[in-house]
Amino acid sequence: MSLQGKVAVVTGGAQGIGKAIVKTFLERKCTVVIADGDWEAGEETAEEFAPLGKVRFFPTDVAIENEVREMVGQTVGHYGRLDILVNNAGIFRGGALERFPLDAWNRVIGVNLTGPFLCARHAAPHLKAKEGAIVNIASTRAFMSEPDTEAYAASKGGIVSLTHALAVSLGPAVRVNCISPGWIAVDAWEKTSRRREPELSAADHGQHPAGRVGKPEDIASLAAWLASPEAGFVTGANFVVDGGMTRKMIYV
């Protein structure tokens, strides 16, 4: 499907799943703004993908409202429109509950949950004008956990709920959907200073009913579809993309 003529903001688009989404959107003829807090990664990705189409990097901490407001304003000022918002930016902090610092909790919630709220708030008038779409990136951690991951799990659970709330508030002009990735190997999609090939065992792949660990492209292709007119009757939904892991019963 083509996204030709549309303008998208992808937060956290400089690395990982976000970078794959940027690449996929560009390949579908979409203009893309990478909103990311990592200058090194953002500039590197924008330069790497420049041959694919119109792409620029705008340094943004999505937890800070003034930076979000400026990023959205600059995007619309430069390109004249905003059709798609992908809320992908996210961080992880883990630690034992009794010793987990409150400032770490607040930072995770700020980036992972408050950030999408702020981006949606400031993008909404422009998205409404173009009957646009929001795609939020949550996680299967919204539904299952490892120990000592309270902040991350709570933030991703909040994203799932924020999605259906926004879909009702912004509909019918704006569609809002969510993707919850499972295990996605992002090693090869990091900035050059951190990039490496994934080290995955047969057991890693074999525990997935689909037979393999996920790739960023698996998420990017769904994000492109959800952002396109082909998904015109889809809103308020959450799509679990995890190779079937959350459907697999495990007995010890």
Those residues with Cβ within 8 angstroms of residue 47's Cβ, 6 or more apart along the chain or in another chain: none
Q: Which of 53, 62, 44 is nearest to 24 (CA)?
A: 53
Those residues with Cβ within 8 angstroms of residue 125's Cβ, 6 or more apart along the chain or in another chain: none
Residue at 160: amino acid letter:
V
DSSP string, 102-118: HHHHHHHHIIIIIHHHH
Bridge partner list, 57:
34
Tell me, letter by letter, the H, E, C secondary structure of 124-175. Answer: HHHHHHCCCEEEEECCHHHCCCCCCCHHHHHHHHHHHHHHHHHHHHHCCCCE
CA dist 85 and 132 (Å) reads 8
Q: Tokens at residue 37, please?
A: 């807090």
Calculate ∠ Cα 8-13-18, nearest 5°: 100
Catalytic: which of 19, 152, 167, 186? 152
CA dist 39 and 180 (Å) reads 26
CA dist 97 and 53 (Å) reads 45
Clarify whether 251 is annotated catalytic.
no
CA dist 120 and 170 (Å) reads 10
- Mind telling me the catalytic residues? 152
